[in-house]
Amino acid sequence: MANKKALSAEDHALLKKFRVTPKVVAAAKLRRLDNKQARLELGLGTSVMSNDIGGLGFTGWDLAGEERGILTVRQDDPDAEAKYMSRKGSDGRYLGTLPGAPAKLKSGAKVMLVESFKSVLAITSAAERSSQNIVVVSTNGCNGWLQKQDDAESEALPDLDLLAGHDVVICLDSNVATKADVKKAELRLALHLTTKVTAKSIRCGRVPLEDQVNGPDDYLAEHTDKQFWSIVAEAREPWLVGNTFATYDALVNAKEPEFLIEDVLQDQGICGIGGLSGHGKTWILLSITKALLTGKKLFGYFAVKRTVPRVLYLTPEVQLGQLKLRLKKFGLMEFVQSGRLLVRTLSEGPAPTLLEPDILMAACGAVTFLDTAVRFMSGKESAAEDNRDGLAVKCFSLLQAGAVSVIFNHHSPKGFQKEDYMTLENVFRGSSDIGAQLSGAWGVRQIDAEKNIVHIENLKPRDQDPFSPFQIVGRPCIDRDGDFCMARNPGQCGPLSEYVKKSQGGRPADDGKNEKFVFIREQLAAGVESSLKITEELNKKFDSKHGDRTVRGWIQVIKKPMDIKGQVKS
């Protein structure tokens, strides 16, 4: 036991600042400790004494009423890296309170858990002034109630079991609102008290974020007792503190989804456009991009309700030159120049993760297009967990970052070319998790390859009435007008079965070769001359293993009937 030394004038000034009463000072057995005494009390040893940690020592008692010695020392050294030094080693960990805790607990006292012992003194003094029956307990830091800090297998101190049946308020320092690790510690403590200790009630109080205020003791030094007790009174259940759940006020003031493009496209969601490869999905994305940037009617029919300041168009499966050709056809190059259309292709590198800071910042207030979705997935697109973790999480992160909407296109299974109807399951390749994340889904099917007539149906309307099927025509409209034209308006168009034969689809079935021919034509039109390069890109896109010799033969077949100067048959 260290020799008692009288408290210094600075100690008394400190206690006065936090309005610690003489009665509490006497009960607390505060002591002055020199460097050697402080090190012995805290279990640091005296073999290495490179810095002086002497200061004001705080004696602690456990909840069973046993005096356990010095819990923490407030160092006198103004340049100390940590103002407070606490007892080291798991054997020295215990919850710290003042004498008389067992009797108060027996009388049904409320319990308040705080981080520092100085807060114990300040709050106990405030309770004395207002005649409140309360036991204030220090956890010695946000994780100090664990026997082994920062260990996944840490066990809670057995002292906590004595809180069974009591009303408990957890009031950590104000940084619980700003530091994830402190918030995690608070929730972990609350969970333990709820499930293991079975406290009568658990609530969490919040010390406001203010200058000169960190812990509850700091708040009491700057505010009245009445203001402090209002914090305690307003403490809420752990699951209602923070942003785990929406507040009523947030719900009342939430902006409801609005149509970006009347009848067909809402904001605040993820829209998927599914179809066979080579059936015009990319051209449709570019048409939507043009409508959102210019305000011109989509397909010359659907009114744009709100333009957007910026569009991100991410297409990591084509080279920059190929995208340039398509942008020129739709008259979108000026928006790239002005910065309203940000593009990324294979030329700029592999597909970004979508969680990178520059992507998230650019997405705020913008619409993001992913062409195609599979380039942003992890693992196999048919696996539910890969679709969920590889795509859904990324799309939702974009929305959380402030994106107006996320729109992607996605391949249909090859078997869809034999069907004469559209559903989420037969249009979107992969598991049902793809469709589950969507707030809107379009199915597209080319029913006339020569004119590029595309049939479109609504497969999943959320919070809106489904739009009726319609058809658009690309040739010669895109070359002539820089966009699709409407071929059959909604209400004038029947279902897919009226325009294709079951087992045949929009194109002759040939195990996907026609889709690959379309891709090769696009590569040739974009100026790619190397058959090796075309073979590499084709195998990547279709997950195939064709050899260069086979692809060279296809190129010869394609070149004979096709004038590839600037013409791309999609």
Work out the number of other CB atoms within 10 angstroms of the CB of residue 356: 10
Q: How far apart are CA 289 and CA 40, in angstroms?
A: 71
User: According to the per-residue pLDDT averaged within each range, which of 39-48, 403-412, 517-526, 558-567 is highest?
Assistant: 403-412
Which has the closest alpha carbon to 489: 474, 505, 467?
467
Query: What pLDDT, in 10s, does the model give residues 359-375?
Result: 999 999 999 999 999 89
pLDDT-wise least confident of 119-123, 165-169, 461-465, 527-531: 461-465
Assign 91 a pLDDT band (cuts: 50, 70, 90). low
The span from the CA of 539 to the CA of 145, in Å, is: 58
Q: Which amino acid is at 397?
A: S
% of the chain with per-residue pLDDT over 90: 64
Residue ranges of domains in the chain: 9-240, 270-498, 513-559
What are the tens digits of pLDDT across the range 465-485? Answer: 889 999 999 999 999 999 999
| Top-confidence range, 248-262, 325-339, 343-357, 425-439 | 325-339
**CB atoms inside a 10 Å sphere around CB 195:** 9
- Whether the CB-CB separation of 189 and 155 falls below 8 Å is answered with no
In sequence order, what are the beta bridge partners of 55? 33, 75
The answer to whether 9-240 and 270-498 have equal CATH topology is no
The helix or strand, by DSSP H or E, that contains position 468, with its residue range, turns out to be none
pLDDT tens by residue, 177-215: 999 999 999 999 999 999 999 999 999 999 999 999 999
**Which residue, chain included where needed, has tokens 């998927």?**
272
Whether the per-residue pLDDT at 241 is higher than 50: the answer is yes
Give the tens place of pLDDT for each residue, 497-531.
999 876 443 344 444 556 788 888 889 888 898 99
With cut-offs at 50, 70 and 90, classify the pLDDT of residue 380: low
CA dist., res. 356 & res. 453, Å (int): 38
Mean pLDDT score across all residues of the chain: 87
**Residue 403's CB: how many other CB atoms inside 10 A?**
25
3-state secondary structure of 224: coil
Q: How much of the chain, in percent, has pLDDT values that exceed 70?
A: 90
- Residue (of 168, 31, 4) closest to 95 by Cα position: 168
Question: Is residue 327 pLDDT above 50, yes or no?
Answer: yes
Architecture of domain 270-498: 3-Layer(aba) Sandwich (3.40)
Q: With 0.75 as the threshold, say if the pTM is over it.
A: no
Averaged pLDDT for residues 215-239: 95
pLDDT value, residue 432: 63
Pick the CATH number of 9-240 from 3.40.640.10, 3.40.1360.10, 3.20.20.70, 3.40.50.150: 3.40.1360.10
